[in-house]
Amino acid sequence: MNAPKQGIQLKQTQTLAVTPQMTQRLHILQCNQQQLQTEIQQMLDKNIMLSRVDNSMDFELGNNDFTDEFDTNSDSLVDEIPEQLDVDADWDNVYDDYRETFDDRPKKIDDVDGFQEDWVADSASFDECLLQAIYLSPLSDEDKQLSLKVLQHLNDDYFLDRPVAQLAKTLNIDVDKLQSVVDCIRYLDPPGVASQNIQECLLAQLLSLGNNNEAAVNAYEILNDYYDYIDKKPDFIRRRLALSQTEYDTAMQLIRTLSPYPKPPDECTHQLIIPDVFVRQRMGMFFASANHDARYDLAINEDYAELSKACKGDEKSFMTAQLQEAKFFLSALDQRQKTVVRVANAIIMHQQDYFLQGDTAMRPLQMKMVADMLGLNESTISRAVNGKYLSFKKHLIELRYFFSQNLSRQNNALDDDVAASATAAKAHIKAIIADEPPKKPLSDSKIEKLLKTQGIDISRRTVAKYRESLGIPKTSERKRLK
């Protein structure tokens, strides 16, 4: 029998490492303007190296990229902070003295498309957030399709309307496979969706917090093992878990921060919308430019940067870590605006006819197509259009609105004039019904034929689906209404 041999082998592998800077940039890119202002305020509260600057320090009209160029001619500290942190590194690394300030440029604003104080809109749909979470999840395409089927079996509280085993029989799928998909949905953002009951929903929200402290552990044991006794026998729970009154109260305080249902109550009917870009026209072409009213007015605090020269030891580490974090945050803001403007320009260039003719001229467009054009990942495009709006002739339009399904039955028809989008089809259906004879409304079959004469080849069933989505009643009801 041969004895096992020891040896050294050289193996080359390729992995994707996410640095703190990449994580921060992705998070900032995901934020809409309202969320971004909250992030900025939180950063100002915790980072002494950041400060607000005078409003006179603004963007030049025509230079749409928020810049992180700094004055290198002043008596500043030597720039030796690296552009990237090591993987899994923390902010509190020690660096040499560093100081940077924004390039002070004069304000030149002659734009007529200023911010409108009455621009408001409903809060983002809970269903849209849920669908986006599934889209960005690590699930396979097959499991994502199964997830959409699961969403069709949720009740008004976004709980499953039947046990998983029964739902598996309804969908004719393996119960273990369905259970794994349901578990994944439960821990997406927002957490708790597809739970069986309030207990499962609370546990999903608690685990999604990612806390491993003593209060979180105690809260988990209370919810998991003694949920039915919380209101009835609190002393019994404390004795069984050997908790002091303070430990029990702390755990219960954490539990009370959770919501019994996945969908939070509507706290605000409307929220202010600040567009990220304006659509302008020059030499017959529409293009996007950054909204100068959505400025950040942030800069490195020169006083604290100068003070860090005299710091030593732990103070030096703290000041350089704060300066590092401030620089990366400003870089993330810069990258966010550049990416949003790039994506908006790619969308607008593809949808030039829309800005001349309206919905009937909307062309098919998918996020993958924009990602290929810009050399970005599809998930980056999704983050760049999430909650972002453009302003066109005093109208606010969400960037997601420009993505529409290709209805052409030819796979290669996307670049041809015959390609039709779902948005254009709905607009044509609405126009056809608006012009129909009042006493003899058109049936879905006749509408289908009229659409084909306009180059939109869809089935009668699709016509009915789009008509219903527009809130237009069927033929017999339209006749009675008129």
Decide if 273 is inside a domain.
Answer: no
- 3-state class of 396 per DSSP? strand
**Of 266 and 65, more confident:** 266
Are 196 and 163 a contacting pair, CB within 8 Å? yes
**Strands 277-282 and 389-392, sheet pairing:** parallel
Among 30-39, 77-86, 264-273, the range of highest mean pLDDT: 30-39
Are 171 and 161 a contacting pair, CB within 8 Å? no
**Strands 395-398 and 389-392, sheet pairing:** antiparallel
pLDDT, tens digit (0-9, with 9 covering 90-100), for 219-247: 888 888 888 888 888 888 888 888 898 88
Question: Rounded distance, CA 458 to CA 425, Å?
Answer: 9
Decide if 313 is inside a domain.
Answer: no
Q: Which of 39-48, 99-108, 304-313, 321-330 has the lowest mean pLDDT?
A: 99-108
Number of neighbours of residue 35 by Cβ within 10 angstroms: 14
pLDDT, tens digit (0-9, with 9 covering 90-100), for 393-427: 878 888 988 988 777 644 444 444 456 778 888 88
Helix (H) or strand (E) holding 468, with range, is: helix 460-469
pLDDT, tens digit (0-9, with 9 covering 90-100), for 387-397: 899 988 878 88
End-to-end CA distance of the chain: 94
Question: Rounded distance, CA 341 to CA 351, Å?
Answer: 15
Are 295 and 114 a contacting pair, CB within 8 Å? no
**Strands 298-300 and 50-52, sheet pairing:** antiparallel
The pLDDT, as a whole number, for residue 54 is 64
Decide if 470 is inside a domain.
Answer: yes
pLDDT exceeds cutoff 60 at 97: no
pLDDT, tens digit (0-9, with 9 covering 90-100), for 448-463: 888 888 878 888 888 8
Decide if 447 is inside a domain.
Answer: yes
Question: Rounded distance, CA 334 to CA 326, Å?
Answer: 12
- 3-state class of 253 per DSSP? helix
The pLDDT, as a whole number, for residue 109 is 33
Question: Rounded distance, CA 101 to CA 298, Å?
Answer: 10
Are 251 and 243 a contacting pair, CB within 8 Å? yes
pLDDT exceeds cutoff 60 at 122: no
Q: CA 102: distance to chain centroid?
A: 29
Question: Rounded distance, CA 465 to CA 461, Å?
Answer: 6
Helix (H) or strand (E) holding 247, with range, is: helix 245-256
Are 457 and 422 a contacting pair, CB within 8 Å? no
What does the angle CA 56 – CA 59 – CA 65 come to, to the nearest 5 degrees? 155
Decide if 466 is inside a domain.
Answer: yes
Are 259 and 245 a contacting pair, CB within 8 Å? no
* pLDDT, mean over the chain: 77
pLDDT band for 348, please (50, 70, 90 cuts): very high
Q: How far, in Å, are 290, 367, 374, 383, 402 from residue 380 at the CA level?
A: 19, 9, 11, 5, 16
Question: Rounded distance, CA 113 to CA 281, Å?
Answer: 12
CATH number of the domain at 429, please.
1.10.10.60
| 60 phi, psi to nearest 5 deg | -80, 140
- 3-state class of 281 per DSSP? strand
The pLDDT, as a whole number, for residue 80 is 45
Give residue 459's domain range. 422-481
Question: Rounded distance, CA 243 to CA 437, Å?
Answer: 76
pLDDT, tens digit (0-9, with 9 covering 90-100), for 283-336: 889 999 988 766 677 888 888 888 877 888 888 888 888 888 889 999 999 899
Range list of β-strands (E), 250-297: 270-272, 277-282, 285-290
Render 315-362 in DSSP notation, one character per residue: HHHHHHHHHHHHHHHHHHHHHHHHHHHHHHHHHHHHTTTHHHH-GGGP
Question: Rounded distance, CA 202 to CA 183, Å?
Answer: 14
Alpha-helical (H) ranges within 137-233 are: 141-151, 164-171, 175-186, 198-208, 214-226
Cα dihedral across residues 70, 55, 336, 289: positive or negative: negative
Sort residue 62 into left (φ over 0), alpha (ψ -120 to 50) or beta.
left
The tally of domains found in the chain comes to: 1
Token pair for 85: 């942190």
Decide if 48 is inside a domain.
Answer: no
pLDDT exceeds cutoff 70 at 376: yes
Decide if 154 is inside a domain.
Answer: no
Burial class (CB in 10 A: 0-12, 13-18, 19+), 331: middle
Token pair for 178: 């369905």
Burial class (CB in 10 A: 0-12, 13-18, 19+), 241: middle
Q: Kindly compute the dihedral angle of the four CA atoms of residues 69, 70, 72, 77, in this order, to the nearest 10 degrees.
A: -130
Token pair for 416: 């041809």
Decide if 458 is inside a domain.
Answer: yes
The pLDDT, as a whole number, for residue 266 is 55
